[in-house]
Structure 1
Amino acid sequence: MHPAAPPLTALKQVDTRLVEDIRRKEEAGDETGEERMYLLCKTCGNAITSESYCMEVNGSHRHTFMNPRGIVFNIGCFSSAGGCLIIGVPTTEYTWFPGFTWCCVICSQCLSHLGWRYQSGSGGFFGLILDQLSRQ
């Protein structure tokens, strides 16, 4: 497992594009007729991201990793996760993606651990624990 997360005093709100997108769709209705699949926090139902933000890192959207404690995580990579908060100071310790620093991310509503934010000089992404998300 990645090292313990720092205290919640280090919380930082991340990209709010998803939340704004959801509000806009609810207010205006989806004029395109295209149904968008949202991924919600399994614990509280908060909208975390959308399948439209899926992306590939190192040739794949999905990755399976084991942390130093032997816990296996199946994660998906997303360019945005507006329903998350980033906690902690970026670190390279035990990074699963060489060249990237990481911080933990939690649900902005219930504070459940949902994954990690990875950042490098060329950009970043969210590695979200797929078992912690449900589809809507």
Structure 2
Amino acid sequence: MSELVTTKKKPTVIESLLDDFEEKLKKRSDNFIKCANCKHVLTHEDTAISVGGTHRHVKTNPFGLTFEFRCYSEALGCAISGPDESAHSWFPGCVWQYLHCEACNQHLGWFFHGSESFYGMRSDAICIE
């Protein structure tokens, strides 16, 4: 009787990509960033990024209003409005536009783009669930 010899087959590119994706999903946080007003999902906690050395910023505009906001690389649940504004940008080389919840239109913060692109969401306008 002959023995069946099996050899380990080298995974295909797609199989390797799927394995990598599954590993990332296992490590991924379960928390979503939501609009504090209507609980619409804006992005995922894993999209949090550091801009200028920190994720959280506190900045004051020319009218004396101070905002605390957090930076994210993606925000698929948001809408961007208004023209590109270069005046009073808190980030050199970036222009900004208003950022709103696409479900309830609540002002969430700003979309910055130029030397880099990111979403600055006001801490008081979002919740993590």
TM-score scaled by length of structure 1: 0.73
- Give me the whole-angstrom Cα distance separating, in 1, the residues matched to 2:95 and 2:101: 20
Matches within 5 A, 1:97-108: 97-108=91-102
Extract unaligned runs of 5+ from structure 2.
1-24
RMSD over aligned Cα atoms:
1.5
Return the match for 1:61 from 51, 55, 61: 55
Q: Which amino acid aligns with 2:60?
A: M
Matched, 1:83 2:83: no
How much has 1:39 moved relative to structure 2? 1.0
Partner of 1:124: 117
- Give me the whole-angstrom Cα distance separating, in 2, the residues matched to 1:40 and 1:125: 17
Call closer, same or farther: CA 1:56–1:34 in 2, change over 3 Å: closer
- Give me the whole-angstrom Cα distance separating, in 1, the residues matched to 2:124 and 2:39: 13
Equivalent residue of 2:111, what SS? strand
Highest RCO, 1 vs 2 (Cα 8 Å, sep ≥ 6): 1
| Contact 2:29 2:46 (8 Å CA) reproduced | no
Call closer, same or farther: CA 1:34–1:75 in 2, change over 3 Å: closer
- Per-residue CA distance 1:63-87 (angstroms, 9 max, x = gap): 0001111111001010001110000
- Give me the whole-angstrom Cα distance separating, in 2, the residues matched to 1:119 and 1:93: 13
Matched, 1:43 2:37: yes
Identity of aligned residues (%): 33
Tell me the matched-pair count: 105
Extract unaligned runs of 5+ from structure 1.
1-30
How much has 1:102 moved relative to structure 2? 0.4
Equivalent residue of 2:88, what SS? coil
- Give me the whole-angstrom Cα distance separating, in 2, the residues matched to 1:62 and 1:45: 21
Q: Which has the larger radius of gyration?
A: 2
Equivalent residue of 1:131, what SS? helix
TM-score scaled by length of structure 2: 0.76
- Give me the whole-angstrom Cα distance separating, in 2, the residues matched to 1:63 and 1:33: 26
